Structure 1
């Protein structure tokens, strides 16, 4: 068989049939089909759908009408959801603009704060002077007590109306469980508004305790009341800074505590702090003065109210467990809000707290202080012996994770309350869960 290939001079191949389509009946070539464009295909599809709908409509007109109605409602719902999302984004942008330098009340430099002392619980307006209209603690149930609240409100309004650079603020949270989720600040605002701002509304710069467009009343301690410029509801979003003065309106017998103890504990300049006091009722004056002397003595030992009855009082004044927004709204004061000053306990525990516990969290020695008070004479010897045993146990188990130390910790939580520290202080989460015999090696914020 010849396997030679055809060279350049080979004859051309012969195609018996044309590549074009041939009409067998006529013997002519058919014209090639033109590819239709996407637009023409889309138009043809729309016409086809329209014809089908028209055909269905002739057979079932009611069904087509109901389907059209449902489709229209679905479109409206989708559009409304889109509109709400757009408005929400716009509000968020507006809030961000406040944070980044746009202060709607930047011309205000003086803060007039009225400290709340009770909650208005009456379902009707106009009975503001009646004690039955307010939720009163047993020590507040005296004739004329309601009138003292009105006096606070009126005094604050009068002072703010006289200063065109002042902002009036009512302070006080949902402090009474029996009063329900109503706040002292909200009550004072409602009374002032119902009273027509005592005829001085046109001269006021008024602001309720608001945060991010919603009411947010919390139960401040005296420290939180005084700490400017953003101690309440993130005032830094409204006012650039209160660099002129901070005035507190409360009962006159509290002046020494606010002007000296609380003001000095946050190192607020004395020349920029002012206190205006109104009298309490004559029947309650002696008891109020005696109670104030006790509280003042407690704050002298525990300036930030972190232990004992001061801490218990602060917890009781937050029955609905509202979160305190101050550190988040005022990051420059975060360390102040978490500071608790010296540790106050029995004097025989000083060595354990100052050496063992302090070193176990690597807290700087120059920043730690311990204030000790004596135990009873009859229990001193037994207390010292027991303390020596506990100290030896912590030397072996610094974090109290095993043996009798762990048992004691479990017994001291009979109601199995969750420990809020890791959640409220995430940077210390690993420390709270650490149980090694060696000193905690991780990073610490101090």
Structure 2
């Protein structure tokens, strides 16, 4: 059959009823699909599904320095490389986390009285007595940390006030520097390699508004009042928005600051919140409450100090029942309270700087799950990590590439081991 050379010839061929009848007949004819045909169609379907799933999966590429051919260091290694070596590294191991939970913001005005409520950003219910309690919390935390050379004092509290330019923790830390000379310092043996002076006096030590306890301690101090914060075992945690985050984020901050996790925790706060911390917050973190630390002391201690004029009607912990049903504070009223306190729109960095806790930091079980919603996966302070393991567990760990196996519960209720 010769090919058409003119458009009219091509048009004629396409409109030829005989040609179309032949094509239609072939399409409508019966045929038997062979096994080879089924296999080929199945293969094509699988390849198509894989390609579509590949495009819907988020893929994170590790950057490589193409110019030199050297890969980037281990995860977060370059970020953490800017941290200086701790003064007592290799000599003094920090194992004790002391937490002072923040409840308000001190404005930091040295010319005004510390106890003057106008120098604080307070809630209405915190007036007429709470400021003195805040000072007792700070001084108690300072005393505990100063008497334990293995401790790190962490003031915890975010930027919870709309009119505050500081976090609660930062204001407490500055107030501690202003108040007391009994600060937790590194021992001189740990500071032998440094050239800077270790003396430290409270800031604004000539201020007549200092408390009586702080004023009497100034006579024994040297004339050098230059602060050297690198010589102090104290820091701030600037993101916590409630009591649960005070505990959770302070542990993460300890990891960020020291590179390790604490063996024991001491919390200084309100007495009426002790039951909440012990029964709910520590349990939500699966903290080993009843197992002693390596030095034989308790791994969890709570020191409660309430307002002197607190009435019985105010001693009820209104948040206890809320946390009982919502252990991680990620639903309804507790979530709204966090949002209200976070007008500065801050997000903590601990999923990166304390990456072993990343799953816990983002954990949010179903609403009203209560104790059924406990975080089920591995945590750095699990007993099987901090203590010796049996030979069988060690063998399983070796077979799993040096990792402890974890169970993951799928939406359909099935369990898989990772």
Is the alpha carbon distance of 1:133 and 1:102 closer, same or farther for their aligned partners in structure 2, counting shifts above 3 Å? Answer: closer
Q: Which runs of 5+ in 1 are unaligned?
A: 1-91, 210-215, 346-361, 369-445
CA shift, 1:222, in A, is 2.8
CA shift, 1:135, in A, is 0.7
CA shift, 1:278, in A, is 0.9
After the TM superposition, which residues 164-203 of structure 1 pair with which residues of structure 2 at under 5 Å, given as runs?
164-178=149-163, 180-198=164-182
After the TM superposition, which residues 26-45 of structure 1 pair with which residues of structure 2 at under 5 Å, given as runs?
none
Asked if 1:327 corresponds to 2:351, the answer is: yes
Which protein is bigger by CA-based radius of gyration?
A: 1
CA shift, 1:229, in A, is 7.6
User: Residues of 1 paired with 2:342 and 2:117: CA distance?
Assistant: 23
Asked if 1:150 corresponds to 2:150, the answer is: no
Match of 1:218 among 232, 236, 239: 239
CA shift, 1:288, in A, is 2.9
Asked if 1:241 corresponds to 2:268, the answer is: no
User: Residues of 2 paired with 1:98 and 1:288: CA distance?
Assistant: 46
Report the counterpart of residue 110 of structure 2 in structure 1: 124
Asked whether the equivalents of residues 186 and 233 of structure 2 are also in contact (C-alpha less than 8 Å), the reply is no
CA shift, 1:227, in A, is 3.0
CA shift, 1:128, in A, is 1.3
Asked whether the equivalents of residues 96 and 262 of structure 2 are also in contact (C-alpha less than 8 Å), the reply is yes
Superposition RMSD in Å = 3.1
Asked whether the equivalents of residues 240 and 249 of structure 2 are also in contact (C-alpha less than 8 Å), the reply is no
Query: Cα deviation per residue 1:216-260 (whole Å; 9 max; x = unaligned)?
Result: 72134333322378422xx33431324421111101111000011
User: Residues of 2 paired with 1:98 and 1:236: CA distance?
Assistant: 15
Report the counterpart of residue 111 of structure 1 in structure 2: 97
CA shift, 1:281, in A, is 3.4
Query: Cα deviation per residue 1:274-295 (whole Å; 9 max; x = unaligned)?
Result: 111112231x3334323x1x31
User: Residues of 1 paired with 2:149 and 2:249: CA distance?
Assistant: 19
Asked whether the equivalents of residues 229 and 241 of structure 1 are also in contact (C-alpha less than 8 Å), the reply is no
Query: Cα deviation per residue 1:361-408 (whole Å; 9 max; x = unaligned)?
Result: x9524389xxxxxxxxxxxxxxxxxxxxxxxxxxxxxxxxxxxxxxxx
User: Residues of 1 paired with 2:358 and 2:414: CA distance?
Assistant: 17
Asked whether the equivalents of residues 105 and 238 of structure 1 are also in contact (C-alpha less than 8 Å), the reply is no
Report the counterpart of residue 298 of structure 1 in structure 2: 322
Give aligned pairs, total. Answer: 248
Match of 1:317 among 324, 327, 341: 341
After the TM superposition, which residues 250-399 of structure 1 pair with which residues of structure 2 at under 5 Å, given as runs?
250-271=269-290, 272-282=299-309, 284-290=310-316, 292=317, 294-344=318-368, 364-366=411-413
* TM-score using structure 2 length: 0.53
* TM-score using structure 1 length: 0.50
User: Residues of 1 paired with 2:414 and 2:143: CA distance?
Assistant: 44
User: Residues of 2 paired with 1:364 and 1:199: CA distance?
Assistant: 51
Report the counterpart of residue 375 of structure 1 in structure 2: none
Is the alpha carbon distance of 1:198 and 1:187 closer, same or farther for their aligned partners in structure 2, counting shifts above 3 Å? Answer: same
CA shift, 1:261, in A, is 0.6
User: Residues of 2 paired with 1:136 and 1:229: CA distance?
Assistant: 23
User: Residues of 2 paired with 1:125 and 1:105: CA distance?
Assistant: 36
Is the alpha carbon distance of 1:199 and 1:226 closer, same or farther for their aligned partners in structure 2, counting shifts above 3 Å? Answer: closer
Is the alpha carbon distance of 1:273 and 1:366 closer, same or farther for their aligned partners in structure 2, counting shifts above 3 Å? Answer: farther
SS at match of 2:413: helix
Is the alpha carbon distance of 1:302 and 1:111 closer, same or farther for their aligned partners in structure 2, counting shifts above 3 Å? Answer: same
> Which is bigger in relative contact order (C-alpha 8 A, separation at least 6)?
2
SS at match of 2:278: helix
CA shift, 1:308, in A, is 1.5
User: Residues of 1 paired with 2:266 and 2:308: CA distance?
Assistant: 23
CA shift, 1:95, in A, is 5.4
User: Residues of 2 paired with 1:195 and 1:163: CA distance?
Assistant: 20
User: Residues of 2 paired with 1:205 and 1:266: CA distance?
Assistant: 28
| Structure (1/2) with the larger helix percentage | 1
CA shift, 1:153, in A, is 0.2
CA shift, 1:198, in A, is 4.2
